[in-house]
């Protein structure tokens, strides 16, 4: 696999060393049990796989190389490079400006962009309309394109579905940059529809089976289907792809549900005419992160901490997995840990930042499950460990806990 140049500010002595050790012991990732770092009064149970994935490392490598190669030039990112505030703020501090926010709202007018400007396409990719606009302006949309290869693989699969006259069902968040880009590419030569999760997939199944009237489809899925979508015609042949950061298990549930729906309607002997098997669009890093997080559920941790950007889809899904068993705190970094008594964290249900008191239990030995999203630097996780350890002056040294 390609090696990327990642700035030193994102690297970590403890986590990087721990990952290397597990990689050497288990190169094929057959063991998703967590690593243990025992400091005496506190033990960290660290997920087998987490942090920067291939696509994120590729994007960061290109972004910082872009800065080095273009001194004196104006450099723009279409939107956030990745969903991590540490990375995005550092890029902005180096002069990079964002044209759009994460929901596609304009921050800098297109009229202010000219052919001499350098444009970076983020890891999520972008829509064909934006690509065409930039090309018309004379901007190079290929040289500094950081679109994740696994996102591009989804686009390729969607294109093949269109060529075979299937409608593309996209499991994703309609407002997410990646889903907007995938929807744009899918609608080049096919009809497309976005479903947020299993609940909407069940509604779609009822539409297909005529349990919900066709006219109600357009209300339920308003803003999520392609132009001139015909319920009677465009739901007879379907295939499922996904936003690569969604829950892999939910994508599979949706695919299984819709496949069974088509069997009910057309019969098992005709299923290949009406449903395309597309499970190969699932991202390996998303799968690995989620499998490793499930491995944490096998422990008896007192609490779980998930580190990452609050608008990160893949990180949010890790929180969803862990909070089924543990008190789980979704934090952006060490600054969120205010004291041994108070932690500031993002509540994914209420969708707001809250503070919780007495998050650390009063006991002789505390066990904390730790993981992070695919866009979170290892250094941020290191900072969280260090901050918590600072509350335990009697804790063992890093060298004693783990000889890196």
Segment holding 371, helix H or strand E: strand 366-372
Query: Tokens 């090309």 appear where?
Result: 135
Q: Which alpha helices (H) appear in 138-176, and where do they start and end?
A: 149-163
Catalytic residue numbers? 178
Tokens representing 278 are 């597309």
User: Is the distance from CB of 238 to CB of 262 less than 8 angstroms?
Assistant: yes
H-only helix segments in 44-113: 54-69, 85-93
Element (H or E) spanning 184, and its range?
Answer: helix 177-186
Write the CB contacts of 253 (distance below 8 Å, at least 6 apart in sequence): 198, 201
Euclidean distance between CA atoms 395 and 22, whole angstroms? 24
- Report how far residue 6's alpha carbon sits from residue 84's, in angstroms, rounded to the nearest whole number: 15
Computed from CA positions of residues 314, 315, 319, 322, in that sequence, does the dihedral angle turn out positive or negative? positive
Q: Are 404 and 18 spatial neighbours (Cβ–Cβ below 8 Å)?
A: yes
């Amino acid at each position: 696999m390609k090696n990327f140049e990642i700035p030193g500010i994102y690297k970590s002595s403890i986590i990087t060393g721990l990952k290397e050790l597990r990689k050497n012991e288990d190169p094929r990732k057959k063991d998703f049990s967590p690593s243990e770092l025992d400091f005496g009064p506190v033990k960290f149970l660290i997920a087998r796989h987490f942090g920067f994935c291939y696509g994120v490392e590729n994007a960061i490598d290109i972004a910082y190389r872009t800065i080095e190669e273009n001194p004196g030039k104006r450099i723009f990112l279409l939107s956030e490079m990745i969903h991590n505030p540490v990375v995005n703020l550092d890029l902005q501090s180096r002069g990079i400006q964002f044209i759009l926010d994460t929901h596609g709202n304009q921050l800098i007018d297109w009229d202010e962009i000219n052919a001499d400007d350098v444009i970076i396409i983020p890891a999520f990719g972008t829509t064909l309309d934006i690509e065409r606009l930039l090309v018309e302006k004379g901007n190079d949309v290929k040289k500094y394109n950081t679109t994740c290869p696994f996102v591009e693989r989804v686009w390729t699969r969607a294109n093949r579905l269109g060529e075979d006259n299937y409608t593309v069902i996209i499991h994703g968040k309609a407002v997410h940059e990646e889903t907007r880009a995938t929807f744009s590419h899918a609608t080049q030569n096919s009809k497309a529809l976005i479903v947020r999760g299993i609940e909407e997939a069940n509604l779609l199944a009822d539409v297909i089976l005529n349990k919900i009237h066709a006219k109600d489809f357009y209300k339920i899925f308003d803003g999520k289907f392609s132009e001139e979508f015909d319920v009677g015609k465009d739901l007879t042949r379907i295939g499922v792809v996904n936003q690569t950061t969604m829950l892999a298990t939910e994508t599979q549930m949706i695919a299984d549900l819709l496949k069974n729906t088509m069997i009910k309607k057309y019969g098992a002997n005709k299923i290949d005419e009406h449903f395309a098997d597309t499970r190969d669009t699932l991202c390996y890093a998303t799968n690995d992160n989620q499998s490793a997080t499930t491995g944490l559920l096998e422990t008896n941790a007192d609490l779980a901490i998930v580190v990452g950007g609050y608008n990160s889809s893949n990180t949010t899904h890790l929180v969803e997995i862990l909070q089924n068993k543990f008190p789980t705190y979704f934090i952006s970094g060490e600054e969120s840990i205010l004291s041994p008594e108070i932690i500031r964290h993002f509540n994914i249900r209420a969708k707001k930042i809250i503070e919780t008191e007495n998050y650390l239990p009063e006991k002789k030995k505390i066990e904390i499950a730790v993981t992070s999203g695919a866009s979170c630097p290892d250094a941020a996780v290191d900072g969280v460990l260090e901050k918590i350890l600072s509350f335990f002056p009697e804790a063992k040294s890093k060298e004693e806990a783990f000889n890196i």
